[in-house]
Amino acid sequence: MNNRKLIIAVLLFAIALSACTPAVTPTPAPTSQPTKATAAEPIKATLIPPTATAIPTTATAKPTVTATGTAELRGKFMVNGRSMYIYCQGTGSPTIVLDGDLGQTVSIMTKLQEKLSGRTTICAYDRAGLSFSDRAPTPRTAKDVVADLHGLLTAAAVPGPYLLVGNGAGGQFVQLYARLFPDQVVGVVAVDPMAPADPWLADVSTLFNPADYATEKSNYGGGNEESIDLVTSGQQLAAAPTPPNVPFEILISTDCQGDQTCSKIQPTYQQVLKGVAASWQRGTVSVDAVGSVFDDDLDAIVAAVGRVLSKP
């Protein structure tokens, strides 16, 4: 009996012990699932526009003065339906306006402009079709050039009065400008100016050889690099109002540097230009013994400008 009780007691203890032990949950076997592709975010491109330095085209541009006291005005302005470029530097009055020879741009006139800028305001510009200025219908004449220059000075608000300095063909253009707008001009300097077609072409017809004379006639007739009809230009100058009563100086070179053709025509050239100077009440002719005043002696031009500025 006692053994029987013992067995029952052991069984009861075992049952109680199993009830107190927590159940173990088996770990599930790992499962392999394909990774779902995630669409990449689109890359957002930022476009950087190219930088550009634009030449101002507004006619309201004003000169600015730097710390050194040098005023500058540069830009393109609409003139007669086209864009034209002008560059001014220096301060003071009157304003010197440069008009170059055929093909001469602002960059070519830089050295002369710098030499004169310490004295007063000085401006140079590109005629139609040169450098930064737009082309114009051809052929052109001196009146077209003068109309452009007058319009450009007005659009750019360049202060007058003006002392005009013209080199080569520009020497004709500044004469016409002064005669058409006399109230704006206080003096004129013509450097190695082209002689007026009449009487020049007739006077040198026997001095040039046939080939050179044909070239000269073609050049005057508009066969030059700017397609300017200098024959018609000379007629316009002759028909223009009387020159104003302002100082007018023609500065010419006299050294032909061994060029025989130049030596033959030089006396005629001087004679024609003396006649041009005589048509002005205060016209004079000065000579410089160099091959080209503009190329070889800029100081002579500065001196001529000084003489004109000093005259009342």
Answer yes or no: is 58 within a domain: no
Q: How many domains does the chain have?
A: 1
* CATH at 287: 3.40.50.1820
Answer yes or no: is 49 within a domain: no
The answer on pLDDT for 214 being more than 60 is yes
Instruction: Write down the pLDDT at residue 13.
Output: 45
| pLDDT classification of 56: cutoffs 50, 70, 90 | very low
Answer yes or no: is 45 within a domain: no
The answer on pLDDT for 239 being more than 60 is yes
Percent of the chain residues topping a pLDDT of 70: 77
Answer yes or no: is 11 within a domain: no
Report the pLDDT averaged over residues 119-128. 96
The answer on pLDDT for 84 being more than 90 is yes
The answer on pLDDT for 10 being more than 70 is no
Report the pLDDT averaged over residues 48-62. 34
**What is the value of pTM for the model shown?**
0.79
Q: What is the mean pLDDT of the chain?
A: 83
Distances (CA, A) of 210 to 206, 216, 217, 272: 8, 10, 11, 21
Domain that holds residue 186: 64-310
| pLDDT classification of 71: cutoffs 50, 70, 90 | low
Answer yes or no: is 31 within a domain: no
Report the pLDDT averaged over residues 63-69. 35
